[in-house]
Each structure stands twice: as C-alpha cells, then as structure tokens.
Amino acid sequence: MRDYDFKMIEKKWQKRWSDERIYRAGRTPERKYYVLEMYPYPSGDLHMGQFRNYLIGDVIARFRMMNGYEVLHPFGWDAFGLPAENAAIQRGIDPETWTMKNIEVSRNTIKLMGISYDWEREVTTCLPEYYRWTQWVFLLLYRRNLAYRKKAYVNWCPSCQTVLANEQVVDGNCERCKTQVTKTDLKQWFFRITEYAEKLLAGLDGLTQWPEPVKILQRNWIGKSEGCEIDFDIKKMNKKISVFTTRPDTIYGVTFMAVAPENPLAMELARHGGREAEVGEYIDRSMRISEIERASTVREKDGVYTGTNCINPFSGKEVELWVADYVLASYGTGMVMGVPAHDQRDFEFAKKYDIPIKVVINQSGEKLDPGSMDEAYVEPGVMVNSDMFDGHDSQRAIEEIIDYCSKKGMGRRKTNYRLRDWLISRQRYWGAPIPMIHCEKCGVVPVPVDELPVLLPREDVDFAPRGKSPLASVPRFMNVKCPECGGDAQRDPDTMDTFVCSSWYHLRYSDARNDKAPFGRVEGASWLPIDEYIGGIEHACGHLIYFRFITKVFHDEGMLSCEEPCFRLFNHGMITDEEGNVMSKSKGNALPVGPFVEKWGADTGRIAMLFIGPPAKESAWSERGTLGAHRVLKRIWKAVWQAMFENTQEIDIETLKPEELTLLRKYHWAIDRVSRDIKEYGHNTAIAAIMELLNEMQAHDDKGSVVYAVAAKGLVQLLAPFAPHMCEELWREAVGQGESVFRSDWPEVDRAVLREETIILPVQVNGRVRARIEVPVESTEEEVKSAALAEENVRKHVSRAGVKKIVVVPEKIVSIVS
C-alpha cells in the first residue's frame, strides 16, 4: 500500500482531467443535466466559506455524470459593478486590470478545490465577447417595446455631485461626505418587467421544486392587488382625479384625499388653493426621506392641506385634498382616498389633523363609535351610512360597487402590482454601455446590431464621480454619427445595472463561444432549463425575478422553448466561524483556501465542508471537522488498498457466510442512501452512510473475500463525487480500472440483497385519497412525508397556500391538510 500523498494525487488528477477534458459538455446532449451555482463577483480571492455552494453543486454534477447523464456544469464571473470602480478610484488601477486579476486568482483557487467546471464555457461579463450580447439583449427588449426612457427620481448628493445607489445613502446622508441626500430627476432607462407581472406570478405555481420562502417573497414583491379606480371631481376646477382602492366598500367613509408629494398634481392643487408656499416647502422636505422610511408603519404620518377640495361621486360630499408623504407616487395613481375609520394610516393621519372619522362598516351586531375608536376597524362587516348599500355585506359590496362604478362611468375595475419597472441605467463607468444614440434630428436611435459591441473606452477615463456618467466626458466615446441620418450625434453615457448581465448568463452557458448570437436555438433548447440551481436566498427578489423575466422574453421571441429558467432551486445555508459570524472577508474571519489545501488537501476540505451539516442550514466551520475528515479519508485509503480486487467471482447470496451477507447488505443499503441523499440535498448524511459502510468493512475479518472487494470498489464510486481526487487514484491504481471513475456506472441497489419490504400507503389531501405511495417498511417519517409530497396528484391538490399539516400514521395512512 502506498501512502496517502494527497499533494501528488490532487495535482496529478487535476492535470489529467483537464488534459482529457472530462468535464466538457457536448453541443446537443441526448440525456442532459444542467447544474448551476450562482456565479460570484470577483472582489478578490474566494475563501473557504464561499465554496459551500460550489461543492454542493459539484457533488450533484459528478453524481449525474456517473448516472449516465451528459452534464453541463459551467462557471463564470459577475465582473461589472461598483467595487471595481471604487478600487480604481482608491488605488489608481483601472477597473479591468483589477477585475481580471481577481478572476485569475479566484479561478486558480477553484481549480485547487477540484470542481468539475467546464472551463471552455467560462463567461466573464465585463469582456466585450460577453457584453456585446448583453447589449443585444437590451436591443431585443427595446425592439419588443420592453425598454423605454423616462424621468425618474434618484438619490443625489449635492456635495459629491453624484447619483447614489440606495445602499450608499445612510440615514438620509451621503455615505461618503455625510451631506444630506436629496432627490433629483434624471431621464433613465427602464425595462418593462411589469408587463410580465402576471406571467411571473402565474409561473410560480409550476415551480414546485422551488423553496416556498422564495416563492412567497416573489409573490409579495410582485404584489398583485385587485380593486378599482374611482374618479372624483375637483371643485371649481375642470378636472377629475382618480384613486386606486381595494376597498370601494368604504367609499362613503372618505373624509379626505391625499396626493403624493412627487405627484405634479400636488403643486397644481396648491396653486389653485392658494397655498403654494406651504405645500412647496412640505414637498422639499419630504423629498429627502427615502421611500422605505415613508412607507414605514411606525413613522408619524404628516402632510399639508392644498386649499383645494373635491367631491365624493357617491355621496356628493365635499372633502379636502391634502399632500401626504405616506402616499407613494409610484403606486396606483399616486393618490389615495382617505378612510380613517377603516384604514390605519388614514386613521393616524386624521387624528393628527383633526379630520372627521366616519364609520361606514360595522362589526355585525355591534355599532362602532368613531369617538371611542383608538384604531381603524379594518375587518369586513355590515355597511352603514352608505345610502343604498346600507345593510349589505361589505365583502360582497366590493363587487357591487365596482360594477356600479363602471356602469355609471365613475370608475373602472383595476388590478395593480407592487412590482415596478426595472430601472437599469447607472451613471457609472464599469458596466455594459447602453447601446443607444441620441440624435437631435432623429431622437433616440438604437445602435445597429452588427455594430455591437459598443466598446467601453479603456483610456483617458476619469472614474471619479462628477455628477454625470464618467463616459459623458470621453468625447471619443460620446461623439458618433447617427445611424439613421448620418449626422452628428451622441452616445448614451449610462451603463447597465449588473443585474442585466446576470439575467441571461444561464442562457449563454448553453453556447458560450457563439459569436453570431447570444446562443444558438438548438443549443438553448438542448440544455435549458437548468436542472438544479444553487445559491443564496438573498437573491429572491432581485436576480431570481430578473432571470425569470428575461427567460420569458427570449421564449416570447421564439428563441427558447422553455418559459422558466429552472425548475429546481436550492438555497444553501451560510458558513460561519465558531462564534456564529458569517465567514466573510470584511469580517476578517475568512479562511483562505490556498494554505488550507497546502496543509490538508482539497479532498479533506471538501469532506469537511460537506459533512459539516445539512446543506440548507447555517453551519460553523471548525478545526475539529477538518481533522475528522482527514482521518476518515486515511481510513478509507487503507481499507480500499486492503481489498483483493483480482477476486471477481460472481456472488451467490445463498452460499455467503453471515458476516459476508451483513457486509453486502450494508453496501447495498449505502448505495441506496447515498443516491437518495444526493438527490435530496442530504450531502452530510450521504457521507455518514459511506462512513457506516467503512465501519462495516473494517469490522469484516476476511479482507480477501469477494464481498469485501465488491464493497471496497463500490465505496470508491460512492465517495467519488465528494472526494474526487483520492477516489480517482484508488479507482485506477488500487481497483485497477483503465478509465476515469467518473465514466463508470453508478452502483445499483440490489433489492433482493436488501430484502427490503415495501408497503403501500394511501395519501389523503383534506380528507380525500389522492394517491398511493410505495415505501420501504423501515422508512422514516420524513421519508414518507417527502414521498407523499412528491406525488404529482398530491401536489395538484395541495392548494397554493401549501401544506398546513401533515400526519403520518405508521403503516396506515398519510394525511395532509392544506
């Protein structure tokens, strides 16, 4: 037996795998499996904590390879963005040099860990060969009328003379110079994601293998609400205003109206009411508060009267028009009808300014007295003080009133979404230039597709923020000829949000070197959708909505057959230090990979990382874990070398000694466990099963037996996805195989050996049998539950709200309440 010389082994196989291109994905696979981990931002070197999701994905990719799939497991870099620009400003290196250096360092670190990426498909979003197609995506959206320009408010620091991102505004002040931030309006590019609100919402129902929390976050983010718009006449002004409400049943309780400060109507009403000064001052003040603070339920509501009134179309009563900053300009019509008796925000507002409170909905049987209310009554009930609707059930009256409004021409049915269009312009240098040209004569003209990419200028750029895009001061870049009239024109000086780059990278991987199109139709159809996508939950409402949106646009363009980018999403837990702080460079507790691998080897790091706990849960990294993992590998190394692989007779169960049968059973049990656990993200328990098999082998006296050899050979295969280098070495040198272990067939469970009995259990959903499942008698409760929930017909009957309760009566029935 040789020593376990991990340094030699890891170096040797990393080179061989790369030379033999064993991770290379084909063009049009027959039986495909696409495993993807969210790509990183190259801000320096990658540390150990960041490897968890890459390792989780790597095990799955290798497992699928051994199960006869053609696997696509690619990698890339989210390489545009602010940190590169800041580093450039601070250290005087240009952003590209800084970024490419980080990529180089991180790539080597990944290679050290032996992850099965197909480097021939690597994408780097800041390179022209990639961002050319990001620009193409922009033009695609423009052509489909999904990209448009409008004025929008942005955070503005009057001292730095620059636009600030939300995260650069701290307590209303500029992060850098502490000056109070104001708002300014700039013409900016938007993607019309709201056009896809309904599709994005409906699509969630089909994503049965997405974590429920992500879907809930997306549903709330899209925030569909159904109601109506009601029109009010403004007094002594030939003008109507409309408000969006989900509670038209409270229309008789309106005692004031409120307009958002940004709404141009606010000043118009103030002028009409002769209160320009007061209102103007109020607007200035409220522009300094962020939307988040404004929408906060705890902040005291305030506002100012415009001096103008309007008429309730139902009651004919006159009410005051106010400006209030709890009204959001970007939602509904940027106006609300104030119903203090039945809306808490309106209640607080009315209390503060002594506005009347009129109760129009009573709890059945009980009469509410406005004087004694200390909060709004928001529940449904019976309508009162509402003319012809008195006595009606308020819930039903919502529909009646909407119909009545439409019939009388006083309003219309309306569905609103919280989702806003996606602001993609950035007044920054380090991003993909927006491929548009501004011509005095022709207006806004797209750059012709065959002139892409619009290259980011590398020299003579002043990155320091000066209140406009850095590109605006590079004449070489800005001055162009108009593609339409040939006259002098200007480029758009803005760059795109980096979330645009990542909204389509999963598509590029299907055909990463294509220089005629973002990807080929055939390649896209062959590889997409992603089979498993692994990353953090923090992207639930950003990237994970954007990439669904862009995928749907490609689908509608006829370039993709799938409508969703991926059907299975996994959110991994974070790696922390022993005190429970998330491992990160900024916290100073990041474990560098290079020295670790030097000391312990990549395989030890991989086992330690994957054995640390369930992949979905947060887990603490420890020295002890590393030591334990290293010892296990050494034991396995020894146990495998002890086997006599020349013994290849067929095993006849009938003639086996009891000790041999025990080992053989354990082996088949381990195959079953490891296979199931890898599919269900139980990487840690899969390793535990391999360790149980190892214990059984070590307890086995006759290391020369055929059964021992069979178990040892199988163990090498089962462990290969987790500790690929050591297993490849054992496979070729100890077991004596000529081809890579990753080209071998995953071992098969022999149920006859397991002698596993199964039973059939009925599965009820809300009291009715919807399926029958066959499960092993020894299944745990969790296994029975997940088998039940995996049934197609069960899923169909579990309502959108999900599972409320699930009860397993052992060996009898599974009952689900939904």
Binding string, residues 393-422; x marks residues near ligand ANZ by CB under 6 A? -----------------------x------
Region binding ligand ANZ by CB under 6 A among candidate stretches 338-346, 564-572, 634-642, 789-797: 338-346
- Binds ligand ANZ by CB under 6 A, chosen from 337, 545, 553, 816: 337
Region binding ligand ANZ by CB under 6 A among candidate stretches 94-102, 332-340, 729-737, 787-795: 332-340
Rounded CA gap, 239 and 306, in Å? 15
Q: Which residues bind Zn ion (CB under 5 A)?
A: 439, 441-442, 482, 484-485
- Min dist. Cβ of residue 454 to Zn ion (A): 17
**Residue carrying the six token digits 């990419």:** 453
**Residue 28 neighbours by CB under 8 Å, 6+ apart:** 522, 523, 526
- Alpha-carbon torsion (273, 186, 544, 86), positive or negative: negative
- Alpha-carbon torsion (180, 186, 191, 196), positive or negative: positive
Contacts with ligand ANZ: how many residues (CB under 6 A)? 18
225 binds, among ligand ANZ, Zn ion, none (CB under 5 to 8 A by kind): ligand ANZ
Largest CA distance in the chain: 103
343 binds, among Zn ion, ligand ANZ, none (CB under 5 to 8 A by kind): ligand ANZ
Residue among 338 and 470 whose Cβ is closer to ligand ANZ: 338
Residue among 442 and 813 whose Cβ is closer to Zn ion: 442
Task: Assess 229 for contact with ligand ANZ (CB under 6 A).
Answer: no
Rounded CA gap, 465 and 164, in Å? 10
Token digits of residue 345: 């925000």
Token digits of residue 339: 């119903």
What is the number of other CB atoms lying within 10 angstroms of the CB of residue 576?
Answer: 18
Residue among 441 and 812 whose Cβ is closer to Zn ion: 441
Rounded CA gap, 320 and 334, in Å? 16
Dump strand ranges (E) for 713-804.
Answer: 758-765, 768-776
Region binding ligand ANZ by CB under 6 A among candidate stretches 238-246, 440-448, 551-559, 625-633: 238-246
482 binds, among Zn ion, ligand ANZ, none (CB under 5 to 8 A by kind): Zn ion
Binding string, residues 245-274; x marks residues near ligand ANZ by CB under 6 A? xxx--x---------x--------------
Region binding ligand ANZ by CB under 6 A among candidate stretches 180-188, 240-248, 494-502, 588-596: 240-248
Region binding ligand ANZ by CB under 6 A among candidate stretches 23-31, 68-76, 270-278, 331-339: 331-339
| Pairing outcome for strands 182-191 and 575-576 | unpaired
Please provide residue 233's backbone torsions phi and psi, each rounded to the nearest 5 degrees.
-80, 135
Residue among 379 and 748 whose Cβ is closer to ligand ANZ: 379
Write the CA distances from 473 to 138, 362, 426, integer angstroms.
23, 64, 15
Rounded CA gap, 184 and 735, in Å? 70
Residue among 293 and 440 whose Cβ is closer to ligand ANZ: 293
Alpha-helical runs (H) found in 260-393: 265-273, 276-286, 291-295, 344-353
> What are 625-634's contacts with CB under 8 Å, separation 24+?
626/596, 626/600, 629/604, 629/605, 630/600, 630/601, 630/604, 632/607, 632/691, 632/694, 633/4, 633/6, 633/601, 633/603, 633/604, 633/607, 633/723, 633/726, 634/4
**What is the 3-class SS of 57-104, one letter each residue?**
HHHHHHHHHHCCCEEECCCEECCCCHHHHHHHHHHCCCHHHHHHHHHH
Residue among 229 and 511 whose Cβ is closer to ligand ANZ: 229
Rounded CA gap, 351 and 348, in Å? 5
- Min dist. Cβ of residue 258 to ligand ANZ (A): 8
8 A C-beta contact, residue 67 and residue 531: no
Region binding ligand ANZ by CB under 6 A among candidate stretches 323-331, 439-447, 633-641, 682-690: 323-331
DSSP run (H or E) holding 611: helix 602-611
Residue among 437 and 711 whose Cβ is closer to Zn ion: 437
- Binds ligand ANZ by CB under 6 A, chosen from 37, 58, 343, 696: 343
Dump strand ranges (E) for 530-669.
Answer: 532-535, 569-571, 575-576, 619-620
Region binding ligand ANZ by CB under 6 A among candidate stretches 192-200, 300-308, 325-333, 781-789: 325-333
Residue among 442 and 472 whose Cβ is closer to Zn ion: 442
200 binds, among Zn ion, ligand ANZ, none (CB under 5 to 8 A by kind): none
Task: Assess 339 for contact with ligand ANZ (CB under 6 A).
Answer: yes
Return the residues of window 55-114 that contact ligand ANZ according to CB under 6 A.
none
- Min dist. Cβ of residue 261 to ligand ANZ (A): 11
- Binds ligand ANZ by CB under 6 A, chosen from 57, 74, 95, 332: 332
- Min dist. Cβ of residue 149 to ligand ANZ (A): 23
Rounded CA gap, 619 and 621, in Å? 7
332 binds, among ligand ANZ, Zn ion, none (CB under 5 to 8 A by kind): ligand ANZ
8 A C-beta contact, residue 601 and residue 637: no
Residue among 180 and 479 whose Cβ is closer to Zn ion: 479
Region binding ligand ANZ by CB under 6 A among candidate stretches 110-118, 136-144, 336-344, 494-502: 336-344
Q: What are the residues binding ligand ANZ (CB under 6 A)?
A: 225, 244-247, 250, 260, 327-328, 331-332, 334, 336-337, 339, 342-343, 416
